[in-house]
Structure 1
Amino acid sequence: MPGLFQTKAHANALYAMRKPLLDDELIEQRVSARMARQVVLTGRPVPMVSCVIEEAILRRPIGEWNIHKEQLSALARLGRLRNVELQVMPLDCPEHAGMGGAFTLLTPKGKPQVGYVEVQNVSRLITDLEEVRILAARYGCIRSQALTPRESLALIERLLNSQ
């Protein structure tokens, strides 16, 4: 689940289950920082945000069921925003272009597009034009393999109503 889309309870549950364990103060700092970054979704100028989420993430309850239901509800609200295109990669698409792991593409106004990857507490900003071009091409393939935004929102709402 992208950090920009996580509820406070979901983020807290994720950090609390990390191994080795994080102390409570560090968890609170990280959750607060994640929540503070979410203002970018509604700030001015409103950014265009496009995201593909694996269906498995929608089906795996992180924390308790009430935390999961709150997270699905938040995703449904985000999926209705005009500046957010939320897509789901269905479980029945076993081989897709995103199997190499998650990444983020950022296109700052008036600057070149960059990539960002983060895994196992290691992060890397990608500025090499060829590497960024490959990520952008891969993202295009991922989006074409995922459900449409409308189909994705319908799936999220079905999951939310089945709880």
Structure 2
Amino acid sequence: MCGRFSQSYTWEAAQAFSLGLTDRRSAAIVSLPRYNIAPNTDVQIIRPSPAGGRELILARWGLIPREWQRRFSSNSSQSLLKKIASSRFNPPLEDVETRPAFRDAFKKQRCIIPASGFYAWTGPKSDRTPHYCTAEDGHILAFAGLWDR
């Protein structure tokens, strides 16, 4: 996934996209468009619902492995957990199945991250130019994601 993206679509578009979005309470989440989402920000994800079907929920962008949450559960460690999440928002595909930080979520807790578009950057590091990329037909894009509690 990219380093920045946007989520701006209607509830009806989200329902059509997800093929089974069942929780109508999610409509309030969709009504807040955002155009420059960065790691450690709350994002909309679609995951299987415990009641059946799919649900759209808010989740922080950046995976903190469950065992690390237990290890660093004190209030003084919260900034450390945010740093960990910031460094774990875009793992290489070949690592998610084998690296301990992603392995459990990859096996059991996958999700879809709907997006209106994403930013790709070109040029040298000292002078980067952002390009906003969307689907040509304007439909929602789907990013593969992992989630954990």
Which range, TM-score by smaller chain? under 0.3
Q: Which has the higher helix share?
A: 1
Normalised by the length of structure 2, the TM-score is: 0.25
